[in-house]
Every structure is written in C-alpha cells, then in structure tokens.
Amino acid sequence: MELNPQRIATREKLILVGLYLSKYDSLALRQLGFGSFVEAFNVIGYALSSKPASIKNYRDEFDPLFPNRRKGWHKRTTRGYCQKVLEQYNSLDLQSFTGLIKSFVGYDENLLSELRPQGRATSRQSYFAERLITGLAAKQYFESIHPSLPEFRGYSLQNTTRLGCGFDFRLEPVIGKDFLAVEVKGLKDMTGTLSLTPKEHETARLLGERFFLVVVRNFRESPSHQVFRNPLSSKLRFRKKERVIAQISWLASV
C-alpha cells in the first residue's frame, strides 16, 4: 500500500479525501477540525490546488457504499479508478487514514506541540484546520486567482514563502518596473483578526506602495478576497502587541 504522500498523484489524493469524508462522515469532520463539509471542501480543495467541488464529487461517488444519510451517485456503479482506490485504502483504520489525509498538506502530527503556541486551548483537530486556513489554503487560493487581479497584471509569480523574506510572493514585472511583494492571510469567517510578524511589518513599511496584503475570507462558506495596497497606510489599523517568551537552551564546551 502506498502511504508516501509525495508519490501519490493529486487526483488520487482528492479521491482519498472524498473516500475518507464519505466513510467517516461527521467523525471525519471532527478529526480534521472542520465545522461542515462545505468548509472541508473549500479548505482542502484549495490547499491541494484543486476545485472544492472535486472533493465533493468524490465523496458523493463513495456515499452509496457507506451507511450515511446521503444517497450520493447511487444511480450508477462506482467508477473503475475510484473502485481501485477504495480496494487499496479501505482497510486503513481511522487514525492511519486521518494521518494520511493530513500528510497531503505537509502536516506532521509529531510537530504539533512544537508549532502550537503555548497556553492555547485549541485542540489538535481544530488547530490543524486553523493552520491550513491561515496558511496553505489561502496561499493556494491566491495563486489560483492572481492572474485575474488587475493589480498584478503583467507580473510573473514566485512563491517565496520558505525564503523568510517578509512576504509570501514576489511578483516580477515583464518589463521595466520594480518587483511587488504580496503577503496572504486567510480567515475562516468574513471577519476576524490577522497579524503581521515583525519582519512582515518592517517589510511592508520599507516597500510601501509595492507591498500588498491579500486577505482571503470566509473559507467556512464561500472564499472571497480583498487586496490592500500599502496596508500600513490603508483603512486597516494595526496595533502593536508584545509578548515575552522564555527561551531555554543547553550549552556545552568543546
């Protein structure tokens, strides 16, 4: 059985998410921290650079095979490639299947205690959904719609998330202009609180009109976006919040 997510094709990942949601139904939503299937479709769909409707269709494909309240695609037999995935992965238990689904978006359960801020009451399940919304899903959403945004017409896109440069995307002009920087933030609902790290805030200050903040809202129902150019001088009002964190290290002489 193939359990290495890097060797599973995107379509098969979408099928597996549909199978997981169909087989475990509301329990699957609780395991992943989503409040509804629509939210799960939106967040996981965009996180996998696909359409949310694709996951819904695959869930519906498997629904006639499991005891839930939905009828799904009950008027036809399961398609061959979906049946193959079912036969290969249906023996996975809930914990293993959940871990596999989470691994599709680069989530490592073993790192949770290191990544989650200390003192938070957020459960492991809801923390997964929260991080996916504010991180990968929002960024992949932006990648999918940026060619249609007039602010970025004529620019090529480079993902700089892992470079630690204070923004998520660098947009290079085709000819003769300075690059633009884009930081993307995601919200579960239409409204919420977003934060800038000290480096993001300083980069926004230095770049001014060349720095854009894109807020992707309402993953709970229907994602939409809003673009803020030079956000520190926009209608947004950022307030500084300081927190002292004790850092422990172990030293040795060599």
Kindly give the confidence (pLDDT) of every residue in the chain, 254 residues in length, as a single tens digit, with 9 standing for 90 and above: 556 777 899 999 999 999 999 999 999 999 999 999 999 999 999 999 999 999 999 999 999 999 988 888 888 899 999 999 999 999 999 999 999 999 998 876 554 444 444 444 346 667 889 999 999 999 999 999 999 999 999 899 999 999 989 999 999 998 778 999 999 999 999 999 999 999 999 999 999 999 999 999 999 999 999 999 999 999 999 998 887 777 787 777 76
Measured CA distances, 19 to 28, 94, 140, 235, 242 (Å): 10, 12, 23, 44, 44
Query: What whole-number distance in Å separates Cα of residue 153 and Cα of residue 149?
Result: 7
What is the helix (H) or strand (E) element at residue 13, kind and residue range? helix 10-32
Residue 196: count other Cβ atoms within 10 Å of its Cβ: 18
Where along the chain do the CATH 3.40.1350.10 domains lie? 141-233
Query: What whole-number distance in Å separates Cα of residue 120 and Cα of residue 117?
Result: 6
Phi, psi of 183 (to 5 degrees): -110, 135
pLDDT at 73: 87
pLDDT at 121: 39
Please tell me the pTM assigned to this model.
Answer: 0.85
Measured CA distances, 126 to 32, 97, 116, 232 (Å): 7, 17, 11, 30
Q: How many CA atoms lie within 13 A of 212 on its CB side?
A: 21
Burial 231-254 (b: 16+ CB within 10 A, else e): bbeeeeeeeeeeeeeeeeeeeeee
Three-state DSSP at 82 gives helix
Query: What whole-number distance in Å separates Cα of residue 167 and Cα of residue 159?
Result: 9
CATH 1.10.8.60 fits 141-233, yes or no: no
Query: What whole-number distance in Å separates Cα of residue 29 and Cα of residue 195?
Result: 27
pLDDT at 243: 78
Query: What whole-number distance in Å separates Cα of residue 137 and Cα of residue 57?
Result: 19
Sign of dihedral through CA atoms 114, 115, 120, 122? Answer: negative
Q: How many CA atoms lie within 13 A of 133 on its CB side?
A: 30
Query: What whole-number distance in Å separates Cα of residue 79 and Cα of residue 64?
Result: 12
pLDDT at 224: 97
Query: What whole-number distance in Å separates Cα of residue 9 and Cα of residue 93?
Result: 22
Query: What whole-number distance in Å separates Cα of residue 79 and Cα of residue 101?
Result: 21
